[in-house]
């Protein structure tokens, strides 16, 4: 279902020739990829949410999510970001609501699970930060990077994540 929605959006972008603005938003998308990857590196032994799949290897699912789904979702978000403050607020709230509805749907279908105290409210909070930080990253990279690091620290403390060492293996580890 998610892939069909992405394919539909992708084809509509091709028709509108908006897809070709990819270069303009490269830094935005790179930011999203990096901090999505950071989640798996820091939280690999204490996942707050993850995917379930009977058909696909979990490494493949995670890679697809980190390197394609989340960046494309953010790309679609920033492509039509309005100019006025009121429209920006309404637009962002709509995207957060749609993202939460999609996540709840995937959770109900058993494609996603929450653990260690995570719930949909935290997901809404993450979507808010993800969309806003992605938009503002090229304009204020140092500020957004510092805020992002502080957010990672907040979540590590809030969810009592045991950290013995940072691990790039975390992205590829499959919890039991």
pLDDT given at position 22: 73
- Of 87, 68, 42, 71, nearest in space to 137 by CA: 71
Q: What is the pTM of this model?
A: 0.82
49, β-bridge pairs: 114
Query: How high is the pLDDT of residue 163?
Result: 75
| Confidence (pLDDT) at 53 | 86
pLDDT tens per residue, range 94-150: 999 999 999 999 999 999 999 999 999 999 999 999 999 999 999 999 999 999 999
Residue 36 confidence (pLDDT) above 60: yes
Reported confidence tier of residue 172, pLDDT bands at 50, 70, 90: low
Instruction: Give me the pLDDT at residue 105, please.
Output: 95
Does the pLDDT at position 21 exceed 70? Answer: yes
Residue 176 has pLDDT above 50, yes or no: no
Q: How far is CA 57 from CA 54, 60, 67, 172, in A?
A: 8, 5, 15, 10
Q: Which residues pair with 50 in a beta bridge?
A: 113
List the domain boundaries for the chain: 28-39+46-171
Q: What is the pLDDT of residues 2-20, one digit of tens each?
A: 556 666 666 665 555 655 6
């Amino acid at each position: 279902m998610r892939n069909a929605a992405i394919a539909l959006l992708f084809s509509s972008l091709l028709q509108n020739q908006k897809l070709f603005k990819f270069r303009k938003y490269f830094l935005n998308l790179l930011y999203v990829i990096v901090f999505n990857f950071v989640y798996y590196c820091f939280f690999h032994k204490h996942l707050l949410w993850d995917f379930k799949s009977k058909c696909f290897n979990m490494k493949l699912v995670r890679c697809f999510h980190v390197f394609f789904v989340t960046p494309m979702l953010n790309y679609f978000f920033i492509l039509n970001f309005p100019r006025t403050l009121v429209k920006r607020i309404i637009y962002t709230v709509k995207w957060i609501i749609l993202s939460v509805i999609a996540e709840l749907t995937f959770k109900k279908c058993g494609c996603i699970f929450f653990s260690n105290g995570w719930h949909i409210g935290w997901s809404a909070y993450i979507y808010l930060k993800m969309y806003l930080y992605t938009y503002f990253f090229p304009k204020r990279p140092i500020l957004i990077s510092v805020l992002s690091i502080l957010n990672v620290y907040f979540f590590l403390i809030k969810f009592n994540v045991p950290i013995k060492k940072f691990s790039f293996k975390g992205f590829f580890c499959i919890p039991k």
